[in-house]
């Protein structure tokens, strides 16, 4: 934590937050919000929380801005007020100010950053830091905590991604009957004749393989460096998003079919929960990977925990990748899955 | 040596603030978009500088690469948006401008 950086970054973050609220043009607000997540990523890095910073860089700066842009694309860009809105605005601003005030008061009760006596540093964290290397042979403690000691949390987080993207997909999906009805009612006229840019096509075509390679590296190398299934999955999803922006969604779906996307969305969670279930059948606790050594006697307890973590990460990456792509395609094409942004 | 890199980081942050003025003030969305893009590039450099300060460059370079790869997706998305809707300012704003002039 370097105090000079912190002061400058904090001013930027606070100003960014206010500006993104203050701008009336929603497109501008989305872009400023992107800058906000850039800066938050720097704040996490300054605190030394590299994994959190990586997640913020991948999700906040990369994918969520695109989701916002896709949403603004199909809805209105301006905010309209009328008389009733102003009274609700007044009411909600009072609630917000009160909430902010209470949060400010609560800050006083928190222990100082990095305080050795705070409860966070005294109970379980000590155990993880001291025993992670002996028990799992994973140098990056964050990965071993997320995928092994606290795997239950991560499993349900993956479940949340699964449910969220499935809900968005099914809510926006237009059934065939409705599509036909829409087609007969509003004959689609392509008067804009949008020309695709050659530069973007070629540049994206060059970028995508490297992006996917880097994403696979992040997934597999998560035991030793920051990253893991979630971050790698987001980068994989982003590469698909980039491809569908350079060409169109139809073309990407020709390679990566919609049915395959939904299946891999479910398979990822299945891998995670399935490994837990196998552990349960083999006589251990749910997600207690050391029980897997009964199935593969040559691996032993430590090695089986190490390998099971890798498989769990792969499952998370599958779910997150197809989840991000499912959300993007349904938001940007308004549920028609023909042409995107 | 650490002091030197802290100094470099502070200079980058101050440069970021200069660009941030454009993001804050920017009459059109394009100014904001460009400003945010420049902030993104500076942030990539700052991540590596922080890695040198913490003496773990190998950890921070990964984040910087991921950051650099994902940084421009949002800009392409916004560019695509303006390709379809060929107005830089939202309707209410240019109507206001018209009535003023």
Contacts of A22 in chain B (CB under 8 A): none
Contact A272, A229 (CB under 8 A): no
Q: CB burial class (10 A; 0-12, 13-18, 19+) of residue A37?
A: buried
Asked whether the ipTM of the predicted complex exceeds the cut of 0.90, the reply is no
Does the structure show a pLDDT above 70 at A78?
yes
| A55 CA: distance to closest CA in chain B (Å) | 9
Q: Which of A12, A46, A226 is nearest residue B63 as measured by Cβ atoms?
A: A226
Containing domain of residue A254, as a range? 123-341
For an interface test with B, the pick among A49, A61, A79, A221 (most B C-beta atoms closer than 10 Å) comes out as A61
- Return the minimum-mean-pLDDT range out of A11-20, A28-37, A306-315, B24-33: B24-33
Helix A300-332 to helix A198-220 angle, to the nearest 10 degrees?
160
Residue A192 has a pLDDT of 45
Does the structure show a pLDDT above 90 at A102?
yes
Average pLDDT over residues A229-258: 88
Average pLDDT over residues A150-171: 92
DSSP string covering A113-170: TT-TTSHHHHTHHHHHHHHHHHHH--S-HHHHIIIIITHHHHHHHHHHHHHHHHHHHH
Residue A231 has a pLDDT of 92
Average pLDDT over residues A304-328: 92
Torsions phi, psi for A282 (to 5 deg): -80, 0
DSSP string covering A289-326: GGGGGGTSTTTHHHHHHHHHHHHHHHHHHHHHHHHHHH
Would residue A77 count as lying in a domain? no
Asked if the C-beta of B39 comes within 8 angstroms of chain A's C-beta atoms, the answer is yes
Torsions phi, psi for B81 (to 5 deg): -60, -45
Residue A84 has a pLDDT of 67
Residue A101 has a pLDDT of 94
**Cα dihedral: A287, A291, A295, A296 (round 10):** 100
Q: Which of A48, A200, A226 is nearest residue B62 as measured by Cβ atoms?
A: A226
Q: In angstroms, what CA-CA distances link A118 with A112, A113, B1?
A: 8, 9, 33
Residue A325 has a pLDDT of 92
Contact A40, A12 (CB under 8 A): no
Contacts of B67 in chain A (CB under 8 A): 41, 57, 61
Would residue A131 count as lying in a domain? yes
What pLDDT band is residue A247 in, cutting at 50, 70 and 90?
Answer: confident
- The domain total for chain A is 1
What pLDDT band is residue A193 in, cutting at 50, 70 and 90?
Answer: very low
Which of A310, A315, A209, A208 lies closest to A264 in space, CA to CA? A315
Q: Rounded to an integer, what distance in angstroms lies between the CA atom of residue B20 and that of residue A154?
A: 37
Does the structure show a pLDDT above 90 at A216?
yes
The angle subtended at Cα A215 by Cα A131 and Cα B40, nearest 5°, is 100
Residue A76 has a pLDDT of 80
Q: Rounded to an integer, what distance in angstroms lies between the CA atom of residue A12 and that of residue A332?
A: 31
Asked if the C-beta of A31 comes within 8 angstroms of chain B's C-beta atoms, the answer is yes
Which of A81, A80, A69, A73 lies closest to A29 in space, CA to CA? A69
Would residue A68 count as lying in a domain? no
Residue A195 has a pLDDT of 54
Residue A321, both tokens: 């990748």
Contact A61, B67 (CB under 8 A): yes
Domains of chain B by residue range: 2-100
Q: CB burial class (10 A; 0-12, 13-18, 19+) of residue A116?
A: exposed
Q: Rounded to an integer, what distance in angstroms lies between the CA atom of residue B7 and that of residue B19?
A: 19
Torsions phi, psi for A119 (to 5 deg): -60, -25
Q: Which of A28, A41, A65 is nearest residue B74 as measured by Cβ atoms?
A: A65
Beta carbons of B36 and A63 less than 8 Å apart: no
- Please count the residues of chain B: 101
Q: Residue window 42-101, chain A: list those with CB within 8 Å of chain B.
A: 42, 45-46, 48, 50, 53-54, 57-58, 61-63, 65-66, 69-70, 72-73, 77-78
- Top pLDDT among B14 and A195 is at B14
What pLDDT band is residue A315 in, cutting at 50, 70 and 90?
Answer: very high
Q: Rounded to an integer, what distance in angstroms lies between the CA atom of residue A316 and that of residue A233?
A: 7
Asked if the C-beta of A207 comes within 8 angstroms of chain B's C-beta atoms, the answer is yes
In this prediction, what percent of chain A has a pLDDT beyond 70?
91
Q: Which residues contact B96 (CB under 8 A, 6 or more apart)?
A: none
Does the structure show a pLDDT above 90 at A131?
no
């Amino acid at each position: 934590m370097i105090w000079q950086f912190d002061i400058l970054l904090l001013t930027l973050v606070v100003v960014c937050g206010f500006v993104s609220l203050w701008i009336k043009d929603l497109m501008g607000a989305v872009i400023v919000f992107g800058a906000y997540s850039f800066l938050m990523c720097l704040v996490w890095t300054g605190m030394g929380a590299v994994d959190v910073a990586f997640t913020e860089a991948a999700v906040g700066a990369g994918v969520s801005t695109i989701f916002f842009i896709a949403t603004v694309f199909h809805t209105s860009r301006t905010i309209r007020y009328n008389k009733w809105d102003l009274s609700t605005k007044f009411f909600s601003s009072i609630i917000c100010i009160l909430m902010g005030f209470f949060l400010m008061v609560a800050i006083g009760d928190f222990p100082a950053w990095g305080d050795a006596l705070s409860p966070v540093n005294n109970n379980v964290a000590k155990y993880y830091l001291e025993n992670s290397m002996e028990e799992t042979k994973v140098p990056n403690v964050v990965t071993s905590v997320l995928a092994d000691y606290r795997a239950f949390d991560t499993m349900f987080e993956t479940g949340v991604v699964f449910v969220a993207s499935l809900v968005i997909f099914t809510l926006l999906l237009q059934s065939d009957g409705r599509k036909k009805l829409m087609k007969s009612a509003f004959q689609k006229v392509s008067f804009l004749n949008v020309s695709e840019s050659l530069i973007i096509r070629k540049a994206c075509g060059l970028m995508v393989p490297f992006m996917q390679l880097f994403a696979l590296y992040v997934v597999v190398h998560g035991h030793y460096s920051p990253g893991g299934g979630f971050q790698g999955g987001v980068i994989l999803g982003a590469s698909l998003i980039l491809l569908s922006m350079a060409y169109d969604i139809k073309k990407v779906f020709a390679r990566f079919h919609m049915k395959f996307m939904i299946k891999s969305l479910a398979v990822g969670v299945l891998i995670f929960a399935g490994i837990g279930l196998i552990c349960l059948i083999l006589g251990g606790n749910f997600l207690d990977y050391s029980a897997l050594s009964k199935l593969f006697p040559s691996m032993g307890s430590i090695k089986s925990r190490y390998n099971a973590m890798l498989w769990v990460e792969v499952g998370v990456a599958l779910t997150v990748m197809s989840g991000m792509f499912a959300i993007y395609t349904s938001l940007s094409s308004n549920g028609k899955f023909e042409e995107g942004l | 040596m650490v002091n030197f890199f802290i100094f470099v980081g502070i200079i980058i942050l101050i440069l970021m603030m200069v660009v941030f003025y454009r993001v804050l003030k920017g009459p059109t969305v394009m100014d904001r978009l460009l400003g945010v893009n420049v902030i993104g590039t500076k942030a990539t450099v700052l991540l590596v500088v922080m890695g040198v300060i913490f003496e773990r460059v190998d950890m921070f370079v990964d984040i910087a690469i991921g950051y650099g790869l994902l940084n421009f997706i949002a800009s392409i998305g916004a560019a695509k948006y303006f390709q379809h809707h060929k107005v830089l300012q939202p309707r209410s704003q240019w109507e206001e401008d018209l009535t003023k002039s």
